């Protein structure tokens, strides 16, 4: 797929900026805080309807404006598609594809596929499990947009179950035997729903990782020169011996029953995929604790390359790659690995403060745009 152009209206620090992507690689160069990442964020929003930087739409709308809009033309194998996302300070959004305003935002997902790589992605290795869950979920949504709906449903059930557990705790009925029969039957209903939605989340996460890991291993070996052995393990909170639906549901329910007392004491759900973990080890040592910066970078790069390949395999078209301030941080060998993989096949948007750290091969093959204070230009300012 190829993003032909982008039009930013009252988005972040852009007032009214049009950009035509004239080459498979575009390098956005400029000093700090000029709007480079903002532009990548706009593409991320069209792809995932989320920003990894903020959760509130009012931060995305230009200061002083009530609404902002991101408009784009995308070329896919099936033809050209016009897209737009309107953001409002009050959080209400409008999405359109072609001339059609979509009632369900979920229907918009999967139109543009992207893989992102920014310095924040090192949190994938160093940060808490929520970073790894969110990374995995974003990947699964790209592979199967309907997963966004499943995930949303799971979190809704989780919130409601938590509210009930809190109510039970506030009523001081922490001893299981003294819970009113009304609360008990209400809780049993939520248990069943949590299990049904939870196993759908777990099975999809597990399958996506199963497909991603061999590709990641391949890249990790290639980049580390076969000196290091990467292992990726899905550690679901509910033990998952195999993919059998009924066995999994049973294991889930059993674990909930074992945690009845602590759950009611703490007033929160302690069992389920919201507590899943993904473990990365290098030569049998947890990458999180012992990996050097270089090792962690190699690991994240391997994951990103694997994501590109997997999405391409599943979708049947190469996704876009968004490289936010990370390429210059990679040494030339790793830059070459990346270059060889993406070639001209994956459209890539790259931000950087300096062109000097780049391989000349990259530079010659790229469209270079200079960014200053929310304006783009083909010449240095």
Known binding site: residues?
30-37
The reply to whether 273 sits near ligand ATP by the rule CB under 6 A is: no
Tokens standing for residue 108: 């918009």
Spatial separation of the C-alpha atoms in residues 326 and 262, rounded to whole Å: 43
Please report, as residue ranges, which positions from 7 to 46 form the binding site for ligand ATP (by CB under 6 A).
12-13, 30, 32-38
One character per residue 346-365, x = contact with ligand ATP (rule: CB under 6 A): -----x-x------------
Q: Which residue has the tokens 């602590």?
A: 262
CB of 325 to ligand ATP, least distance (A): 6
CB of 133 to ligand ATP, least distance (A): 25
Residue with Cβ nearer ligand ATP (13 or 47): 13
The reply to whether 116 sits near ligand ATP by the rule CB under 6 A is: no
How many of the chain's residues bind ligand ATP (CB under 6 A)? 18
Sort residue 98 into left (φ over 0), alpha (ψ -120 to 50) or beta: left
Residue with Cβ nearer ligand ATP (13 or 347): 13
The reply to whether 86 sits near ligand ATP by the rule CB under 6 A is: no
How many Cβ atoms from other residues are within 10 Å of residue 281's Cβ?
Answer: 18
Helix intervals (H) in 49-176:
123-126, 129-143, 147-170
Question: Of these, 7, 25, 62, 204, which contacts ligand ATP (CB under 6 A)?
Answer: 62
Phi first, then psi, for residue 292 (nearest 5°) are: -75, 165
Residue with Cβ nearer ligand ATP (54 or 261): 54
Do residues 115 and 308 touch, judged by C-beta distance below 8 A?
yes
CB of 307 to ligand ATP, least distance (A): 22
Residue with Cβ nearer ligand ATP (230 or 371): 371
Helix intervals (H) in the chain:
36-48, 123-126, 129-143, 147-170, 181-224, 245-258, 260-266, 287-290, 293-315, 332-342, 360-364
Length of the chain as a residue count:
381
CB of 87 to ligand ATP, least distance (A): 10
Please report, as residue ranges, which positions from 314 to 333 form the binding site for ligand ATP (by CB under 6 A).
325
Binding site residues for ATP, as ranges?
A: 30-37
Do residues 225 and 192 touch, judged by C-beta distance below 8 A?
no
Tokens standing for residue 286: 């947890």
Residue with Cβ nearer ligand ATP (289 or 356): 356
- The two beta strands, 348-352 and 25-29, are parallel
CB of 297 to ligand ATP, least distance (A): 18
CB of 29 to ligand ATP, least distance (A): 10
The reply to whether 261 sits near ligand ATP by the rule CB under 6 A is: no
Residue 273 carries which DSSP code?
G
The reply to whether 88 sits near ligand ATP by the rule CB under 6 A is: no
Q: Which residues of 351-379 are buried (b: 16+ CB within 10 A; e: fewer)?
A: bbeebeebeeebeeebbbbbbeebbbeee
Spatial separation of the C-alpha atoms in residues 11 and 34, rounded to whole Å: 13
> Could you tell me which stretch among 61-69, 165-173, 180-188, 198-206 binds ligand ATP (CB under 6 A)?
61-69
Please report, as residue ranges, which positions from 63 to 82 form the binding site for ligand ATP (by CB under 6 A).
63
Crossing angle (nearest 10°) for helices 129-143 and 181-224: 80
Residue with Cβ nearer ligand ATP (59 or 80): 59
Is the dihedral angle over the CA atoms 45, 48, 49, 54 positive or is it negative? Answer: negative
CB of 324 to ligand ATP, least distance (A): 7
The reply to whether 120 sits near ligand ATP by the rule CB under 6 A is: no
* Element housing 78 (H / E): none
Give the footprint of ligand ATP on this chain (CB under 6 A). Answer: 12-13, 30, 32-38, 59, 61-63, 325, 351, 353, 371
């Amino acid at each position: 797929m190829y993003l032909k152009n982008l039009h930013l209206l009252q988005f972040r620090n852009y007032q009214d900026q049009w950009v035509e992507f004239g080459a498979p690689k575009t390098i956005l160069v400029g000093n700090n805080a000029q709007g480079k990442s903002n532009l990548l964020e706009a593409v991320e929003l069209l792809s995932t309807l989320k920003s990894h930087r903020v959760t509130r739409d009012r931060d995305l709308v230009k200061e002083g404006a009530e609404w902002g809009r991101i408009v784009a033309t995308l070329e896919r194998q099936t033809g050209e598609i016009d897209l737009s996302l309107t953001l409002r300070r009050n959080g209400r959004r409008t999405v359109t594809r072609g001339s059609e305003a979509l009632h369900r935002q979920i229907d918009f997902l999967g139109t543009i596929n992207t893989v992102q790589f920014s310095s924040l992605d090192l949190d994938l290795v160093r940060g808490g499990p929520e970073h790894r869950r969110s990374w995995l979920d974003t990947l699964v949504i790209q592979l199967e947009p309907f997963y966004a709906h499943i995930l949303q449903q799971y979190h809704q059930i989780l919130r409601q179950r938590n509210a009930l557990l809190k109510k039970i705790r506030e009523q001081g009925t922490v001893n299981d035997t003294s819970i009113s029969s009304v609360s008990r039957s209400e809780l049993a209903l939520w248990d069943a729903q949590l299990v049904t939605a939870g196993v759908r989340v777990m099975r999809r996460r597990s399958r996506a990782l199963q497909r991603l890991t061999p590709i990641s291993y391949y890249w990790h070996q290639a980049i580390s020169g076969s000196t290091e052995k990467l292992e990726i393990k899905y550690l679901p909170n509910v033990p998952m011996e195999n993919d059998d639906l009924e066995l999994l549901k049973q294991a889930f329910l059993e674990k909930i029953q074992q945690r009845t007392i602590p759950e009611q004491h703490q007033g929160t759900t302690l069992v389920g995929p919201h507590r899943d973990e993904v473990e990365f080890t290098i030569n049998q040592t947890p990458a999180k604790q012992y990996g050097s910066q270089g090792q962690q970078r190699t690991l994240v790069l391997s994951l990103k390359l694997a994501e590109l390949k997997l999405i391409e395999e599943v979708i049947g078209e190469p996704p876009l790659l968004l490289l936010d301030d990370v390429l210059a941080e990679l040494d030339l060998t790793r830059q070459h690995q990346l270059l060889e993989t993406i070639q001209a096949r994956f459209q890539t948007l790259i931000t950087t403060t300096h062109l000097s750290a780049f391989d000349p091969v990259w530079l010659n093959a790229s469209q270079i745009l200079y960014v200053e204070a929310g304006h783009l230009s083909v010449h240095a300012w």
